[in-house]
Structure 1
Amino acid sequence: MKSIPFILLVLPSALLAETLSIPKPIFFEDKTDHLKPVEFVKNSSNSTADTPIFMSIEQANLDQTITTLLVTKQWQALKIALDSYVKQTNFDPILYRYAKGAMLRAEQDYDGAIALYQQILQAQPQLAYPRFDLGVMLFENKQYREAKQQLNQAKKALDPQMQPLVERYLQAMAERQNWQPDAELQYTQTDNVNNASSEREVEIGGLRFLKNEDSLPQKAHGFRYGLGASREINLSGNHFVAFEGRFSGVHYWDNQDYSEKSLYGSFGYRKHSALQSWGILPFFEQNWLASPRYSKNFGANAEFRRQLNRQWTFSTNFNHTQKRYADENIAQRYNGYINGVSASLSYTANPNWVMFGGVELSKDRTKDKAETSTRKGINIGTLVRYGDVVSRVSLRYVKRHFLADNFYFPKKRLDDEYSVNASLWHNQIQWQGFVPKLNYRYRKIDSNIAAFYSRSSSEWFMTVEKNW
């Protein structure tokens, strides 16, 4: 047991406090000078820089060896040492659980690490530093209620130099469970606000018709806006209740018939851990076009996200939406539902470069079979940071098949949809947290019924966004 007081003094900040990027207290630096480096076999054909081999485990002081490997974070070697240590007749179970728990935490096996530290405290509840370490791991595993309890209990017995560190964790948990507001404002202009085809003539049944000006693409200038807030509250363990509300829209001062507003709200359940999260959130949305209420949507989102390793992340989403239109004539054709599913992968090549891509499938079922369709799509993109300059670019392609023949033409509609989105901003160009971003958006639809449905639009616009 002689190594226990020292190891419990060194490791809480050196290993576990790194989550918040907190500098080591001064007395930790002094203590590490007393550690003797472990002796490894040199020039062995089986040794590597990452996996040292012991000269003679039987002759070594395993307590001291384990302490050294913990402080230096040599996890591969530590695993070998622990396998030998547990076979010793008089091995210390507290040291073994503490060291193995730290190793499992480094391997992101939080359930295993937390269980070992709980066993330590069941045996010796007076140990403050393992309790602090347990609180930190519970924090990282999103178990905020339990983390708060352990940290508050450990705080009373910790060295005064550790008190600010505990407070930072407690403050971080409180902030993460508070309301998270966001706001955006952007100037926008478009050359096709009504999503119309630019072809002036339409041929139906051998007859040629000329479109009026209202049926051709119209320009508009205005601004988009949005104000929202979300919140997640930890109930117990990894279980959360989630809220979200948002009011957004676009106002065109020179074409107000196409101004839109939307009010969205959701309430549901999420389960979070260090590497994984999933949730089910029912929602409701009310939409306005110009002034009258235009439509309302309601349904539910089911989401799943998993960090596969330190570079790869997988996510998927399923959405069911019921659509209801206020106008009876529109409702008779377009009322229905949408089922959609998407999956994506992101790859973090380095801290300044992220790549992502995904696939999507959706089925839009309406009362009018000619407007019922299936979408299949793919998207790719990247986010790159050059110092304080950040750019984001994404590309998307969708193939849309319609179920029945079009009302005007004796064939099923088939669309190819293309889109490009790009953003550029500088992290140091901001005011009170409001960050301006330069954006570009391009949309194009190639339809086999070109006179009605082929169209394109592009726009440059500025946004100002803030996340509190």
Structure 2
Amino acid sequence: MLTSWVTAAPVATPSDSIDNLTKESSYNPSVQFAVPQKPIHDAYKSKVFMNSEEFLQHPDLLKNALDTAILRENTSVVRFLLPLYDRLPENQRDKTLGEYAHAIVASADGQYAQAEQQLRALLVQNPEYAPVRLQLARVLAKDGQLRDAAKEIDTLKQTPDMPNETTQYLEQFDHYLVKEQAWKFNANTYYIQDDNVGRVPQQRQYGYWRFSEPKSAHGVGYDLSAQKNMSLKGHWATRVNVSTSGKFYWDAHDYDDLQTHAEVGTIWRNAKREISVSPFYERRWYGSKPYSHNAGGVLRYSEILSPKWQVWGAWQSAYKKHDKRQFLDGANHAGSVTLVYAPDPKQYFVMGGGSGYQAAKDKSEAYSQTNARVGWHRQWKNTFDLTTDFNFLVQSRHYQAPDFFNIKRRDKEYMTRVSVSSPKFSWKGFEPRLNWTWSRINSNHFYYRYKNHRVFIDVSKQFK
């Protein structure tokens, strides 16, 4: 009887490309620009109680009340007083004050383009009016126009006899603008104990073929990433993303895996939405040897639909080439849509789906895929201030032709991850997280059936 021994090679099926488009860490419930708050003056402590008609009978008092509400950034009072102020005869109104109040309300309502237009019109008439220029800088920053906001801050710094309180605020604002465009780094590492690093099938014999014993391996996994935004004129910016991830085994170097990713793209963004287009390049080394490279582009879109709902989508197209396994070369396309619901600042839910296609010269390695995923993130108010995350993904792959074993492969994969962390266990910014993962592949192909679960601790840190 003919017997062949087969050592498992790198798994031919590439990692799900949609994961690159919808990583868990990419969602931030507070996507709005966190512009520093102005210092509130406490010059007006007296209280006056008047109804609408009484205010209209005392225009000077109404004007002073509106001016005070603006100074104290009491938007609800501005909303109440402004319609009354607009009813005053023109000769009893300060036109500049009224237009400024309308800009304040527009900004509070998120109508930043309207507020910017109104504030710029006021500065044309009164270029020396520092409060208006400061408000314009804040509106520009909230609307994603950081470079233009910085120009307004630089102009304000030239104002003579600036109060110390305002000078300190401008320095704080300037620091915020610089920090928003600085490099941001993330690092994550974890210990690996894999009892079947080569993915040897559970079915050890198929016909005349026999497969080697599973091999165990021990090592570390790691993820490193860096991102920088560079604001251009108006809503435009450039974004640079670089990342490295991999696994290093000190007792099984044949399975070391290293992947790098780099992209530079153009962004258009405002307070509610962001669109970006980025060419990218990826390189992979397997067993410390060059394995493949992937070049293409990705289009991303995100929008805040309401204070509680956000949507984002992505489309990625690329062409992958392999250093030795050229039969796997081919184009790949993937798209995804994700919906996020945040009922309160302490939690959010993620729901999404996607599909894609991986071509290959060998049609038995070409496949189409679909996936669906859900997630839940929660911060708990308890003794340890725990944060929990739950993520579940199911995806299916349908291959285009029978392979060497005359099997036309069909897979359905399930993945679950549950994690728990607490800032109380962090040390100098390094925060440990306890994880449980479970995965299973149901396949009509004997070689790719797989199930696994593990418990591990990873440690992460953000560098800003």
TM-score after normalising by structure 2:
0.84
**Deviations 1:33-78, CA, capped at 9 Å, x for gaps:** 2463452xxxxxxxxxxxxxx4577546353564466553227944
Structure 1 CA distance for aligned equivalents of residues 237 and 354 of structure 2: 28
Deviation per CA, 1:80-123, whole angstroms, max 9, x where unpaired?
A: 84387168433433122211111111111111111111111111
The residue aligned with 2:315 is: 318
Q: Does 1:113 align with 2:108?
A: no
1:30 pairs with 2:27: no
Partner deviation per Cα, 1:260-286 (whole Å, 9 max, x = no partner): 112221111112222211111111111
Q: Specify the alignment match of 1:45 in structure 2.
A: none
Q: What is aligned with 2:425?
A: 429
Q: Could you give the per-residue CA deviations for residues 142-169 of structure 1, whole angstroms, max 9, x where no partner exists?
A: 2112111112222335422111111111
> Does the C-alpha gap of structure 1 residues 128 and 23 become closer, same or farther in structure 2, counting only changes over 3 Å?
closer
Match of 1:385?
A: 379
Give the alignment of 1:128-207 within 5 angstroms: 128-155=130-157, 156-157=159-160, 158-202=162-206
Structure 1 residue aligned with 2:28: none
Per the alignment, residue 218 of structure 1 pairs with: 215
Does 2:460 align with 1:465? yes
Supply the distance in 2 between the matched residues of 1:276 and 1:21 (Cα, whole angstroms): 21
Q: What whole-Å deviation, never above 9, does each CA across 1:372-408 have from its counterpart, x for those lacking one?
A: 1111111000111114321111000112222223442
Secondary structure class of the residue paired with 2:409: strand
Q: Determine the structure 1 residue equivalent to 2:126.
A: 124
Q: Is the 8 A contact 2:78 2:101 kept in 1?
A: no
Q: 1:439 matched to which residue of 2? A: 435
SS of the equivalent of 1:63 reads helix
Superposed displacement of residue 130, structure 1 = 1.2
Unaligned runs of 5+ in 2: 1-32
Q: Which residue among 353, 356, 364 is the counterpart of 2:347? A: 353
Give TM-score, length-normalised by structure 1. 0.84
Residues 79 and 105 in structure 2, CA contact (< 8 A), matched pair in contact too = no
Q: Deviations over 1:285-342 (max 9, x none)?
A: 1111112101111111111111112111111111112110000xx21x2100110001
SS in 2 for 1:338: strand
Instruction: Please tell me the root mean square deviation across aligned C-alpha atoms, in Å.
Output: 2.4
Secondary structure of the 1:421 match is strand
| Secondary structure in structure 2 of the residue aligned to 1:366 | coil
Relative to structure 2, which stretch is displaced further, 58-67 or 270-279?
Answer: 58-67
The aligned residue for residue 241 of structure 2 is: 244
Residue type of the alignment partner of 2:175: Q
- For residue 247 of structure 1, what is the amino acid of its counterpart? T
8 A contact 1:35–1:68 mirrored in 2: no
Provide the C-alpha distance between the structure 1 equivalents of 2:274 and 2:456, rounded to a whole number of angstroms.
34
Query: Cα–Cα, structure 1 residues 94 and 86, in superposed 2: closer, same or farther, change >3 Å?
Result: farther
Q: Distance in 2 between matches of 1:226 and 1:416?
A: 27
Between the aligned residues of both structures, percent identity stands at 23
| CA distance in structure 2 between the aligned counterparts of 1:21 and 1:239, rounded to whole angstroms | 22
Higher alpha-carbon deviation: 186-195 or 159-168 = 186-195
Amino acid at match of 1:317: A
The equivalent of 1:372 in structure 2 is: 366
SS of alignment partner, residue 172 of structure 1: helix
The residue correspondences of 1:244-283 to structure 2 (distance < 5 A) are 244-283=241-280
User: Partner of 2:20 in structure 1?
Assistant: none
Find the aligned partners of 2:153 and 2:87 in 1 and give their Cα distance. Answer: 29
Q: Of residues 442, 448, 455 in structure 1, which corresponds to 2:450?
A: 455
When residues 95 and 121 of structure 1 are mapped into structure 2, their CA distance, relative to the original with a 3 A threshold, is: same
Structure of higher RCO (CA pairs closer than 8 Å, 6+ residues apart): 2
Q: How does 1:46-85 map to 2 (within 5 A)?
A: 54-55=52-53, 58-59=56-57, 61=59, 62-64=62-64, 66-67=66-67, 70=70, 71-74=73-76, 77-78=79-80, 81-82=82-83, 85=86
Q: Secondary structure at the match of 1:439?
A: strand
Q: How many residues are paired up?
A: 421
Give the equivalent residue in structure 2 for 1:42. Answer: none
Q: 1:110 to 1:38 in 2, by over 3 A?
A: farther
**Distance in 2 of aligned mates of 1:295 and 1:348:** 39
- Please tell me whether residue 334 in structure 1 is matched to residue 328 in structure 2: yes
The separation in 1 between residues aligned to 2:321 and 2:217, in whole angstroms, is 27
The alpha-carbon distance between structure 1 residues 23 and 112, as it changes in their structure 2 partners (threshold 3 A), is: closer
Change (3 A) 1:366 1:170: same
Q: Is the 8 A contact 2:75 2:104 kept in 1?
A: no
Go from structure 1 to structure 2 and tell me whether the alpha carbon gap of 1:76 and 1:150 turns closer, same or farther (over 3 Å shift).
closer
* TM-fit CA distance, 1:461: 2.1
Instruction: Deviation per CA, 1:420-460: give whole Å up to 9, x if none.
Output: 122221113222212122222222110122x1221122222
- Aligned counterparts of 1:239 and 1:73: Cα–Cα separation in 2: 30
Q: 1:377 to 1:37 in 2, by over 3 A?
A: farther
- The residue type equivalent to 1:399 in the other structure is S
Structure 1: 5+ residue stretches without partners: 1-17, 40-53, 203-207
Larger deviation, residues 98-107 vs 456-465: 456-465
Contact 1:117 1:131 (8 Å CA) reproduced = yes
User: 1:414 is matched with which residue: 385, 410, 415?
Assistant: 410
> 3-state DSSP class of the match of 2:307?
coil
